[in-house]
Structure 1
Amino acid sequence: MEFIQFFKDLEPAVEQVFTFLEGRLGKLILSVTLLMLATLVNRFMHWRLLKETRAVQPQTGNFRATWVRRKNIVWVTALLLVLALWSGQITGFLISLAAIGGALLIVSKEFILCLWGALIISLNKSLRIGSTIEVGQFTGQLVNTGFVTFELAEIGPSKKQTGRLLSLPNSLVFTQAMKNLSVYGSYGIHLIDFNFDKFVKIQTAETLALRLANEAGKHWIEEAERHFTAVERDNFVDLPKARPEVFWASVDEKCLRMTLRFACPLSKRGHLEKSIVKRFWVEYVELVPHVPAGASNQQVADSTIS
């Protein structure tokens, strides 16, 4: 009975607290408290992940993806709760802005596109933290996503990270083609283009390119074949073969292009391209000493990964 009486005596105080929280000052205090709580939760999760990484040697990309996903969930939840607290005032404010809604929509078009872009990026299962993507002229590894921007660790023409961090608006997903270069995992198909003049020894160049590619990939070709076979089976797609292949195309009446295609780990494509190109031109000039001067200057027109 004393326990019940205690709650009855406590009821007026509880009503006063709720009455205070329903006021503007109470809602402001609750909003600040929610934001501070979200910050503390994020810091705690960050500390837990750091503690886990000290105990084992994890995949950095997986932990980074976990951290970004949890952080976004906490902040979205906190913002939704704050909006729910102020829903009455927000509704009245929006109604008062109905007369200038059209102009407001035009002004905030870019912001709205960024929010929609954030939703598309978060729902796209192939775009994960650590994925290597190409957006317009920018290429890099996805390291962070937000409501307005996403961040890439820039990868330069040499296929190496430049040490710069690119912050790009999410609206780019509507205006630029976005290529996911790591959609099929840690292996990708790398292309190297060699340009020759009309004096090229086609069979010699092709045999040399295939030999160099096979030597470079002898440690992972079999594994890449199994990897692509598993991806084809799981995703119902047809992928190129992992073993090196050569294709020829005519650029114009004076130039032929040889494309060397082979599978390689995404992290090694820059080093492999540099090594293969250098060895190819050194050995090709030795095999074909009468090659016209300047032929080996037209080395690599382009290099892409698909």
Structure 2
Amino acid sequence: MEIIQFFKDLEPVVEQVFNFLESRLGRLILSIGILMLATTINRLMHWRLLRDTGSKLPQTGNVRATWVRRKNIVWVSALLLILALWSGQITGFLISLAAIGGALLIVSKEFILCLWGALIISLNKSLKIGSTIEVGEFTGQLVNMGFVTFELAEIGPSKKQTGRLLSLPNSLVFTQAMKNLSVYGSYGIHLIDFNFDKSVKIQAAESLALRLADEAGKHWIEEAERHFSAVERDNFVDLPKARPEVFWASVDEKCLRMTLRFACPLNKRGQLEKSIVKRFWVEYSEQGQPLEEITEEPNQQGKASTMS
């Protein structure tokens, strides 16, 4: 009976609390409390991930992906709770803005595109934290995804990270082609272009390029072949061969282009390209082909691209 009487006495206090929370000041306090709670939860999750990884710093792999996913879930939940608290006022506000909705849509076009871009990036299963992607003229490793922007650890022309962090708007997915260079895992197909005069010794150049690529890939070529076979089986796609191949094309009446294609780990592209290009020109010139006969165009020598 005392417990029942206690709850009866407590009922007016509870009603006053709820009445206060239904007021604007109460909802404002609750909103601030939700934001503080979300911040605290994110900090606790970050601390726990650091503790779980021990002495190792979080990498742009599973740990980083887990952190970004959990952080986004917490903030989305907090945003939905705040919207629910202010739903009445928001509804009235939206109705009052109906007359100027067209103008607001034009002004906020970029913001809306960013939100849609964030949704598209999140739903793209092949695009995840740690993926190496190319957007327009920018290339880098995806390290963060937000509602308005995504961040890339920039990779320069040398295929090495520059130490700079690029923050790009999500709306770029509608205006620029987004290439996922690591969609098939840690191995990819790398291309190196060599330009020659028409008098080039085709067989000698081709044999030398294949030999250098074989020597460079002898430690991982078998593993890359098994990896590509597994990807083909699991994704129902046909991938290029992992072993080195050479293709020839005519650039103009004076120039031939030889393209060397081979499989390699994505994180070794720059190092391998530098080594192969340097050794190729040194050994090719030693075979009796004068360097003066080799046509070199600016930014064409050793030009490379990657397909994964």
CA RMSD, aligned part only?
1.4
Distance in 1, matches of 2:204 and 2:72, equals: 56
8 Å CA contact 2:60–2:129 kept in 1: the answer is no
Question: Secondary structure, in 3 states, of the residue corresponding to 1:283?
Answer: helix
Contact 2:190 2:305 in 1 (8 A): yes
Matched residue SS, 2:251: strand
Specify the alignment match of 1:169 in structure 2. 169
What amino acid is the match of 1:263? A
> Quick one: distance in 2 between partners of 1:99 and 1:258?
62
Q: Who is 1:105 aligned against? A: 105
Between the aligned partners of 2:119 and 2:177, the Cα distance in structure 1 is: 17
Q: Greater shift after overlay, 242-251 or 48-57?
A: 48-57
| SS in structure 1 of the partner of residue 243 of structure 2 | coil
Give unmatched runs, 5+ long, in structure 1.
Answer: none
> Which deviates further from its counterpart, 140-149 or 60-69?
60-69
Residue deviations 1:242-274 (CA, integer Å, cap 9, x gap): 000000011111100000000000000000000
Match of 1:198 in 2: 198
- The separation in 2 between residues aligned to 1:166 and 1:75, in whole angstroms, is 23
SS of residue paired to 1:194: strand
Q: Per the alignment, do residues 272 and 129 of structure 1 end up closer, same or farther by CA in structure 2, a change over 3 Å counting?
A: same
Q: TM-score, normalised to structure 2's length?
A: 0.96
Q: After superposition, what is the alpha-carbon deviation per residue over 1:134-186, rounded to whole angstroms, capped at 9, x for unaligned?
A: 00010000000101000001111110111111110000000000000000000
Distance 1:109 1:302 in 2: 38
The alpha carbon displacement at 1:297 in A equals 3.6
Tell me which residue corresponds to 2:133: 133
Tell me if 1:293 matches 2:292: yes
For 1:305, the aligned partner's letter is: T
Quick one: distance in 2 between partners of 1:117 and 1:59? 25
Is the 2:285–2:291 contact (alpha carbons within 8 Å) kept by the matching residues of 1?
no
Q: Does 1:180 align with 2:180?
A: yes
Specify whether residues 255 and 296 from structure 1 end up closer, same or farther in structure 2 by C-alpha distance, changes over 3 A only: closer
1:274/1:165 CA distance change after superposition, 3 Å: same
Alignment of 1:255-294 (within 5 A): 255-289=255-289, 291=290, 293=292
Return closer, same or farther for 1:164/1:215 CA change in 2, 3 Å cut-off. same
Residue 41 in structure 1 maps to residue 41 in structure 2: yes
> Contact 1:281–1:296 (CA<8 Å) still a contact in 2?
no
AA partner of residue 305 (structure 2): T
Q: Cα–Cα, structure 1 residues 161 and 55, in superposed 2: closer, same or farther, change >3 Å?
A: closer
Matched, 1:115 2:142: no
TM-score (norm 1): 0.97
> Does the residue aligned with 1:185 lie in a helix, a strand or coil?
coil
Aligned partners of 1:199 and 1:292 also within 8 Å: no
SS in 1 for 2:129: coil
- Give the SS at the match of 2:76: helix
Is 1:303 paired with 2:304? yes
Matches of 2:57 and 2:102 in 1, distance apart?
53
Q: Deviations over 1:163-212 (max 9, x none)?
A: 11111000000000000000000000000000000110000000000000
Distance 1:86 1:149, change over 3 A: same
The aligned amino acid for 1:148 is: V
Amino acid at match of 1:205: A
Residues 113/82 of structure 1: CA separation in 2 closer, same or farther (3 Å cut): same
Task: Tell me, yes or no, if the aligned pair for 2:197 and 2:295 is still in contact at 8 Å.
Answer: no
Is 2:277–2:302's contact at 8 Å kept on the other side of the alignment?
A: no
Q: Give deviations 1:94-142, integer Å, cap 9, x for gaps.
A: 1111110000000000000000000000110111000000000100000
- Secondary structure in 2 matching 1:128: coil
Match of 2:72 in 1: 72
Offset at 1:6? 1.5
> How far apart, in 1, do the equivalents of 2:264 and 2:10 lie?
70
Q: Following the alignment from structure 2 to structure 1, what is the Cα–Cα distance between the partners of residues 293 and 60?
A: 45
Q: Secondary structure at the match of 1:191?
A: strand
- Measured in 2, the distance between the counterparts of 1:35 and 1:219 equals 52
Instruction: Check conservation: 2:255, 2:295, Cα contact below 8 A.
Output: no
Report if aligned partners of 1:154, 1:165 keep a CA contact under 8 Å in 2: yes
Task: Out of 56-65 and 259-268, give the one that drifted further.
Answer: 56-65
CA distance in 1, matches of 2:215, 2:49: 40
